[in-house]
Chain A
Amino acid sequence: MPEPLRPRRRLMQPSVIPGFGLAFGYMLTCLGLIVLLPLAALVARASGLGLSGIWEVATDPRVAAALKVSFGISILAALTASTFGFLVAWVLTRYDFPGRRVVDAVVDLPFALPTAVAGIALASLYAPNGLVGAQLAKLGIQAAYTPLGIYIAMVFIGLPFAVRTVQPLIVEIDREIEEASATLGADRLHTLTRVILPPLIPAVLTGFALAFARGVGEYGSIIFIAGNLPYVSEIAPLLIVIKLSEFDYKGACAIAVIMLAISFATLLAINLIQAWSRRRFGYV
């Protein structure tokens, strides 16, 4: 018999399962060395600036513009990804059509395809002499090397998050509720907006937040297709790289800390959405 673990005075509930010390210790060591220590180095470097220093960097017109580009476009892209993600999830779970399984697998492509590969592919596709870009050019639209290009890349990487968060919930919807709604005289649109959609909102929001977080931080797929023009199509992560090339560690750290705060805030928002959903609908 393994000896039972010494109870850790209310910090931990006693358990007969062994290995807590090893597993927990190993986990904490890795987490500390790989994630927390380096992040602490960043925060330490940035704290040298003080809040006022960070604010100064953040309000520098070029930095502010880059943050605005990153935020604004990733919100738009996350909205698009959520909308089409919902549509794709709905079609995949509700309608039967040939090749459904393949289409389902394709949704995860942006997870698996390296961002740099996606970047050069999107750039050559949407450039004015590319396959899609040439068609857009006829309409007088230029996609690559403009904010529109950033938007396209962000939709690309955000889509799977939007699909995969709502899809399992659509599967779970109790069909009888829909039928009951229909029997009680609601038309289909009414049933959709009043009965089906409300419980899905937390999942849609979570998908939106994930797509947003990924979009704000994305680098590889965007730099090839964005014009990288200050004030117009320069994203915040690129500005970090540029600040580094200018030996401006202070500026790079300040932008990085701002981006880190955004990541935290997004994670927090997701947790809040899920807590709210648990209270409101009884599940996540």
Chain B
Amino acid sequence: MSEAAALPRVSPQPAVATEGRPVRWVLTALAIGFLALFLVLPLITVFAQAFAKGWDAYRAAFDEPDARSAIRLTLTVAAIAVPFNLVFGVAASWAIAKFEFVGKNLLVTLIDLPFSVSPVVSGLIYVLLFGAQGLLGPWLLANDIQIIFALPGIVLATIFVTFPFVARQLIPLMQEQGNAEEEAALTLGASGWHVFRTVTLPNIRWALLYSVLLCNARAMGEFGAVAVVSGHIRGLTNTIPLHVEILYNEYNFVASFAVASVLASLALVTLVIKSGLEWRYSDELAAGARRH
């Protein structure tokens, strides 16, 4: 997971505690070259391919009703999944950071689990649970409830893959901030809800925003898990990343990269806001610099 640590200023160093100028130069060039080749070039490719046939061809990709419905679906999914994980993350970090109880480490590990589960497995588990051949399949069928290959399944898979984002960001921060402020407010007679709103929330708001940002980026961009539960019904269950794949497989490369460029722009905006937050509020984002 990403860490919210601001980049500190490089302090002037005595010559003995740094490398020689040529070495520094070579290492810097190597690092930048590596990043340019592996990270920046693919990003440029997306935009270059999207505009390969000019602005009109680019625009045309968004006149397709299927593209619009994909955008609508992705926005809907994110609008459900992100607030869900926000509430979950706050509740989880409140329970875990503010209280001492047995089995806490296990809980944190379980919350972390979706991070290391392959996206394909994340989709598969919902098929096994809700699919017609799955555990609950016959019951759902009898009651005429469609979960996978419909909005609920896509939302569930998205929630699963973005599950730890908010909690993981908030838990260490709230742990470091401790309970002293809340306890003081309670002693002064404030109610629990009031304390949360006026004491805790302001302390974690930037970290909250930060984690929601990353959660949203992942929610809108998830491919593997959603691909397994979507059913690929055009105009109905195709999200933006799936629509990108479809266009790509229709030899419609310009449109494919055009739609992909929307997601790439979202990624860029995310990075810009994220860097801004890190730069401005680094102290309020992370619990110390030393943490994983």
Contacts and interface: CB of A to CB of B under 8 A. Distances in A.
Interface of A: 1-2, 8, 10-13, 15-20, 22-24, 26-27, 30-31, 34-39, 41-42, 44-45, 84, 87-88, 90-97, 100-101, 103-122, 124-125, 131-132, 152, 155-156, 159-160, 164-165, 167-169, 171-172, 175, 178-179, 182-183, 188, 191, 203, 206, 213-214, 216-220, 224, 236-238, 240-241, 244, 249, 252-253, 256, 259-260, 263-264, 266-267, 271, 274, 283-284
Interface of B: 2-3, 5, 7-8, 10-11, 13-14, 16-20, 24, 27-28, 30-32, 34-35, 37-43, 45-46, 49, 84, 87-88, 91-92, 94-96, 98-102, 105, 107, 109-121, 124-129, 133-135, 156, 159-160, 163, 179, 182-183, 186, 189, 191-192, 195-196, 214, 217-218, 220-224, 227-228, 240-242, 244-245, 248, 253, 256-257, 260, 263-264, 266-268, 270-272, 274-275, 279, 289-292
21 contacts: A13-B101, A18-B192, A39-B117, A39-B125, A95-B10, A109-B39, A113-B42, A114-B223, A116-B221, A117-B260, A121-B43, A124-B45, A155-B38, A159-B38, A213-B116, A218-B224, A219-B224, A220-B223, A224-B248, A256-B118, A267-B116
Nearest to B48: A131
Given A11-B102, A244-B124, A114 B220 contact: yes
A172 B135 CA distance: 51
Nearest to B179: A17
Contacts of A101: 7, 275, 279
Contact of B32 (A103, A116, A237): A103
Contact of B124 (A11, A175, A240): A240
Given A94-B10, A121-B43, A12 B113 contact: no
Nearest to A161: B1
Contact of A30 (B41, B88, B186, B268): B88
B220 A107 contact: no
